[in-house]
Amino acid sequence: MVRLSLFEACHQQLDQLFFSNGWSLNYLEGQNCLELFLYFELDNPLQLNFEDASQADSCQDPLPYCLKVAIYSKYQPVSQNLYWVALEIDPDKGIEHGELKAFLKTVKDQSKSLSLAWKDWYQADRSFEFDFAWDWKAYRDKIALYQETGRYDNRRLFLL
């Protein structure tokens, strides 16, 4: 049986989703982990000093901002606080193509609202840290939608 590469499938899906912002995809072989970086430029008219999840500190306008996403082996856990979202998979079983598609589509859909969430935060009293939370329910709903509409692909992909 041919094992399909999660990295290649992920790269292909990202190309097909036409993210409006820049992105890069890396495979960390030693950690058996895929990392996706999504790059944004956020309006920062007040030139607020901000540190994103990648520990980049800036007060520029526009503000460079990076969302980090991980897909990792359950046998080699990652530090969850380093990522906006981290999806654990069993490297022996892989991940179904439909699940990957739902995950990346949810990443795209949710990341679209980053600029608005940032604007809402900096126009408010800023008495709390900026937090752009991942919505696991939206991800599960996307999987269910793909399954119900016959768009869910059961082929398995593996961290190679």
Q: What is the domain-level CATH number for residue 83?
A: 3.40.50.11250
Domain housing 76: 4-158
- Directed axis angle between helix 97-111 and helix 136-148, to 10°? 130
Task: Give the whole-angstrom CA distance, residue 158 versus residue 75.
Answer: 14
pLDDT at position 21, please?
A: 87
Answer for the pair 26, 151: CB distance below 8 angstroms, yes or no.
no
Identify which has the larger pLDDT, 121 or 28: 28
pLDDT at position 1, please?
A: 45
pLDDT in tens, 86-104: 999 998 999 999 999 999 9
In the chain, how many domains are there? 1
Answer whether residue 3 shows pLDDT above 70: no
* Beta-bridge partners for 132: none
pLDDT in tens, 39-91: 998 887 777 777 655 556 667 777 788 899 999 999 998 998 899 999 999 98
Task: Give the whole-angstrom CA distance, residue 143 versus residue 151.
Answer: 9
pLDDT at position 47, please?
A: 72
